Amino acid sequence: MNPQGYGYPYGNGVPVNRLIGDSNPADRFKVNEWLEGADKAQCQWAINYLWGKVSDRTPDAHFLDWSEQQYPALVEWLLCGEGNQFDGIWFPFTVNLIRRDGATLFAKARNAWNQKVNRERKAAEAASTVVLDPKTKQKLHKLASEHGVSEEEYLSILVDLVSERRNANKNIAQQRKKIKRAVIGSDIGFSDVVEEDKKEGIQGYTGAL
């Protein structure tokens, strides 16, 4: 039996704590709370972050095609587990280094993830920001104030109204086209065209026939 499971990283009978000091794993409750609802991307990020803090080697070779459910369990095992085997796969001594400072590394990982999420959110907001010149900004503020809404809400309503009007104009154009189709179809004896347009709700064109 491989002695790694009992805390001997190299099978030479030397306990892990003799080599790296006492373990200080992360709080399991806090880890599970952070992992609640975490997707594969978040878990992979956490694994790479933790691994990179204690090793210069990439962890990819040790992480096969895990399922969506296995990834959170793997992160928890790295931070709070025991031994060097997870789901039948042996992991190198790196996992012991992670657990040695598990509490500290988890706190740093959680903060780094929050910063990453905030940066991405701000970048998305910046990408959708509308830049106006001072005069236009002043006019927008006045119009929004007159209607008792924020500038953002006023712009949103304005865009919706324009979009609805454009769609209405398209519908009118389509109806006119169908009326013309019906007129021409009736003249040349294509009664099926007339009936088809009637089924689609194009009414009132009979007066033009």
Region of 14 on the Ramachandran plot (φ > 0 left; ψ -120 to 50 alpha; else beta): beta
Report whether pLDDT(15) > 70.
no
**35/74 same-domain check:** yes
Dihedral angle of Cα 116, 122, 124, 126, to the nearest 10 degrees: -150
Do 17 and 103 fall within a single domain? yes
Residue-number span of the structural domain to which 98 is assigned: 3-127
**How many whole angstroms from its chain centre is CA 65?**
20
Same-domain status, 80 and 151: no
Same domain, 101 and 171: no
In this model, does residue 19 exceed pLDDT 70?
Answer: no
Whether 201 has a pLDDT exceeding 70, the answer reads no
Residues 43 and 76 in one domain: yes
Q: Which of 127, 156, 191 is the last residue of a domain?
A: 127
Same domain, 25 and 82: yes
Q: Please, what is the average pLDDT of the chain?
A: 76
> Of 100, 127, 154, which closes a domain?
127
Considering only residues 6 and 123, tell me which one the structure prediction assigns the higher pLDDT: 123
The answer to whether residue 18 scores a pLDDT higher than 70 is: no
Choosing from 127, 148, 165, the residue where a domain stops is 127
Percent of the chain with pLDDT over 70: 70
Residues 13 and 107 placed together within one structural domain of the fold: yes
Nearest to 127 by CA among 117, 136, 119, 139: 119
Confidence grade of residue 35 (pLDDT, cut at 50, 70, 90): very high
Q: Are residues 116 and 163 in the same domain?
A: no
Could you tell me if 21 and 119 lie in one domain?
Answer: yes
What is the per-residue pLDDT across 145-174, written as a single tens digit (0 to 9) for each?
888 888 888 888 888 888 777 777 777 777
Domain co-membership, 41 together with 101 = yes
- pLDDT at residue 91 in the model: 83
pLDDT in the model for residue 63? 64
pTM, rounded to two decimals:
0.56
Q: Which pLDDT belongs to residue 111? A: 96
> Quick one: 77 and 154 in the same domain?
no
Number of domains in the chain: 2
Paired tokens of 126: 């910046």
Q: How far apart are CA 202 and CA 188, in angstroms?
A: 19
Write down the pLDDT at residue 136: 84
Alpha-carbon torsion 33, 90, 94, 58, what sign?
A: negative
Q: Do 155 and 123 share a structural domain?
A: no
